[in-house]
Amino acid sequence: MAIQQLLSGVRHFEGHVYAAQREFFKKLAEGQSPETLFVTCSDSRIDPNLICQTQPGELFILRNAGNIIPAYTPQGGGGEIASIEFAITGLAVKHIIVCGHSHCGAMGGLIEPKQLSEMPAVADWLKHSEATRRILELKYKKMSKSNRLDIAIQENVLTQIENLQTHPSVSAALAMGQLSLHAWTYQIEEGRVYAYDTAVEQFVPLKEADMSEKKTHTRGQEARSAKSKVGNLT
C-alpha cells in the first residue's frame, strides 16, 4: 500500500467519517471505559474491531508478535505488564481475551528457530513462549509441520492465559470474581473464531462454546490440565 493511499484515507476520515460522527468523537474525548482487554498478534491481517464488530472505545487492545504475555516479574517486563495492570486497575475491565490466529509467523519461528537467525530480538521475545515449545517437542513431535503450527497456535494461547495469572492485578481480580479470561483463535481463511471451552476441554467454534462466566478460565481452573485434548483449528 503506497503512502499516498494512506494519506487519501486520512483525508477521507477527516472530511467524511469524522464529519458525520462529530458528536461520537467528542464523547470519546471525554474518556474511555472498555470492558474488555483484547490481546492479539501484531499481524496486519488481524483487526479486533472488525472481528468483534466493535467501535472505538469498546476494546482496550494490546498487540505484539505472537500475542505473548510475559509472566510477571517485580522488575517489570515492558509495556505488556504495564498495559495489563492499567486495564485492570485503571479501567476495571471485566474480560481479557487472548486471541491467536492461523498462519502465525511468530509461532512458525517458535517451531523452526532457523527462520529467526537474522532476527535475534524476535528469537529472544519468543522465550516467553518456551512452555509452548517444550509441549510441542514432548507431545506433538511426530506431527506434520502444518498440524504442529495449528497446535502451536492453540497451545500458545493457553500458555499466555497461564502467564496472565502470574500478574498480581489479574490474580486479585480473579479471586474477587471480577474478571474472566478467554482463550480464542481466529481462522483467517474461514472468518471464524474458536474459543477454548472448558466444558469439553478443547477449542470449538465460538458460537458453540459455553461462554458463561463459570466456564471461562478462572483462578480455580487450570488450562493446562486439559491440554491432551487440544486439537486442530479445523
Q: Of the candidates 42, 169, 175, 35, which has an alpha carbon nearest to the alpha carbon of residue 96?
A: 35
**Tens-digit pLDDT profile for the chain (234 aa)?**
789 999 999 999 999 999 999 999 999 999 999 999 999 999 999 999 999 999 999 999 999 999 999 999 887 667 999 999 999 999 999 999 999 999 999 999 999 999 999 999 999 999 999 999 999 999 998 888 789 999 999 999 999 999 999 999 999 999 999 999 999 999 999 999 999 998 888 999 998 876 654 444 432 333 343 343 444 333
Q: How much is the CA Rg of the chain, to the nearest whole Å?
A: 19
Q: Is 97 helix (H, G, I), strand (E, B) or coil?
A: strand
Q: Which residues of 83-122 are buried (b: 16+ CB within 10 A; e: fewer)?
A: bbbbbbeebebebbbbbbbbebebbbbbbeeeebeeeeeb
Angle between helix axes 145-164 and 130-139 (nearest 10 degrees) is 140
* Residue 227 pLDDT: 40
What's the pLDDT score for residue 199? Answer: 85
- The model's pTM is 0.89
Nearest Cα residue to 93 out of 37, 159, 154: 37
Which has the closest alpha carbon to 32: 52, 10, 61?
A: 61
How far is residue 43's CA from residue 153's CA, in Å, rounded to a whole number?
Answer: 13
pLDDT score for 77: 64
8 Å CB contact between 104 and 66: yes
The pLDDT, as a whole number, for residue 211 is: 64
Q: How far is CA 46 from CA 32, 43, 183, 207, 229, in A?
A: 23, 6, 16, 20, 26
